[in-house]
Amino acid sequence: MTLRSFLFVPGDSEKKLGKGAESGADALILDLEDSVAPDRKVLARNMVAEYLAARPGQTGPELWVRMNPLAEGGLDDLVAVVRAGPAGVMVPKPDGPADLVRISHVLDALERRDGVTAPVRLLPVATETARAPFALSSYADAGLTRLWGMTWGAEDLSSAIGARTNKGPDGTWATTYKVVRSMCLLAAKSAGVEAIETLYADFRNEAGLIADCQEAAREGFTGRIAIHPAQVAAINAAFTPSPEEVAHATRVVAAFNATPGIGVVGLDGKMLDIPHLKQAQRVLGQAAAIAARRGP
C-alpha cells in the first residue's frame, strides 16, 4: 500500500471536507484533534462520522481520522467513527507503543460490535511528547499488527519541552528535531512499516516544499503530510519514483538476472551488490503500486 500524501482536513469545516476529496491526495486525515477548537470537538466528531458513513467503499482518497488522545475524548472518537470503517486512525501524542496496544484493544471490540471486517490501521505521531523518543525502538516488538506507518511532529514536542523555537538560525530543524526525525525513520523501518515525513508549515513556498520532499524521499520516507491542497501535487510527485529512477532500477535488476545466483555485478563502471539489488526492487515495487492505485 503506497500512500504518498496525507491531507489534513479540519473535521469541523464543511467547506474543507468538501474540497479534500478533489485534492488528489492519496489519503485524507479527517482531524478531530489540534485543528478543532475545544468547544467544537463534539460537532467535529459527528461531522466526521457522517462524512465517513456517506462514503462506503468510495474510490477516492483513503479516509483516515486523527483521534484525540485516549484520555482527552479519544475513546468517544473511536466509538463514533469505527462503525463507518475508516481506513486508519492517526494517533497523536502517544508516549510509546503501550498507548497503541490499548487503542488496538478498543478497536478489536468496536470492530466486532459494528461488524467492521477490514482492520483499522494505525499511524502514530510518535515523537510528540518528551518521553516518546525513548520508546521509538520498542514499536518493532510490540505485536502491533495494525501498525501501518509512523510519523513524527515538531510542534507539540517543542511545546512539551518549553522550546522557544524548533528551528535553527538557518531555518532548518534544530538538533533535537533532526534527531527525533531520524529516530522515527529508523523506528518505522525497524518495525517494517512506512515512514511518513511531517508537515511543511510554509504552505505558500512550493520550491521549498519540493526540495524538502525530495530530501525526505532520498532518505527513505515514503510519503508526507499535507496541510493545504496546494501541497498535494508536489508531495505526490516527490514520492513517486521518477522515470529515470525506474529505468535505472530496471537495468540493475536485469544485470543481476543476466547471471542467476550472482551476488555482485558491474554496471556503468560501478560495483553493485545485493543491497543495490534490493533497493532497485523496492523502487520498482513502489512504482508498480502507485501505477496500480491510478488504475488503467
- Applying CB under 6 A, which of residues 6, 8, 148, 200 lies at the interface with ligand COA? 8
- Smaller CB separation from ligand COA, 31 or 194: 31
Q: Which of 96, 229, 238, 286 is close enough to bind ligand COA by CB under 6 A?
A: 229
Nearer to ligand COA, 31 or 197 (CB): 31
Q: Is 62 in contact with 21 (CB distance < 8 Å)?
A: no
Query: Residues 12-31: x/- map of binding to ligand COA (CB under 6 A)?
Result: ---xx--xx----------x
**Alpha-carbon distances, residue 279 vs 68, 106, 220, 237, 266 (angstroms):** 37, 37, 10, 19, 16
Give dist(CA 250, CA 202) in Å, integer: 36
The three grid cell numbers given for residue 166, joined into one nine-digit string = 524548533
Which neighbouring-strand residues pair with 91? 124
List CB contacts of 239: < 8 A, sequence separation 6 or more.
4, 5, 213, 217, 221, 222, 223, 224
Stretch binding ligand COA (CB under 6 A), from 7-15, 119-127, 173-181, 256-264: 7-15
How many CB atoms sit inside 10 A of residue 170's CB? 6
Where does this chain touch Mg ion (CB under 5 A) — which range of 13-21, 130-138, 148-156, 265-273? 148-156
What distance in Å separates the CA atoms of residue 195 and residue 216, rounded to the nearest whole number? 10
The residue count for binding ligand COA (CB under 6 A) is: 14
Q: 156 contacts which partner out of ligand COA, Mg ion, none, CB within 5 to 8 A by kind?
A: Mg ion
The contacts of residue 24 (CB under 8 Å, 6+ apart) are: 5, 229, 232, 233, 236
Q: Report the partner that residue 16 touches, choosing among Mg ion, ligand COA, none (CB closer than 5 to 8 A by kind).
A: ligand COA
Q: Quick one: which of 89, 227, 252, 265 contacts ligand COA (CB under 6 A)?
A: 227
Instruction: Say whether 201 sits in a helix, a strand or coil.
Output: coil
- Residue 103 touches which of ligand COA, Mg ion, none (Cβ within 5-8 Å per kind): none
- Alpha-carbon gap, residue 182 to 141, rounded angstroms: 19
What are phi and psi for residue 159, nearest 5 degrees?
-65, -40
By beta-carbon proximity to ligand COA, the closer residue of 48 and 249 is 48
Residue type, 206: E
Alpha helices in 115-205 (DSSP H): 132-135, 155-160, 175-191
35 scored as a contact of ligand COA (CB under 6 A): yes
Q: Of 76, 156, 206, 245, which lies in the binding site for Mg ion, with binding defined by CB under 5 A?
A: 156
Q: Between residues 72 and 245, which has the closer beta carbon with respect to ligand COA?
A: 72
* β-pairing verdict for 264-267 and 27-31: unpaired
How many residues in the shown chain lie near Mg ion by CB under 5 A?
A: 2
Q: Any contact of residue 34 with Mg ion (CB under 5 A)? A: yes
- Is 72 a binding residue for Mg ion by CB under 5 A? The answer is no
Nearer to ligand COA, 12 or 241 (CB): 12
Among the residue ranges 82-90, 106-114, 120-128, 227-235, the one whose residues contact ligand COA (CB under 6 A): 227-235
Report what 177 binds from Mg ion, ligand COA, none; CB cut-off 5-8 Å by kind: none
User: b vs e for 77-91, b when ≥16 Cβ sit within 10 Å of the residue's Cβ?
Assistant: bbbbbbbbbbbbbbb
Q: Give the interface with ligand COA as residue ranges (CB under 6 A).
A: 7-10, 15-16, 19-20, 31, 34-35, 227-229
Residues near Mg ion (CB under 5 A) are: 34, 156
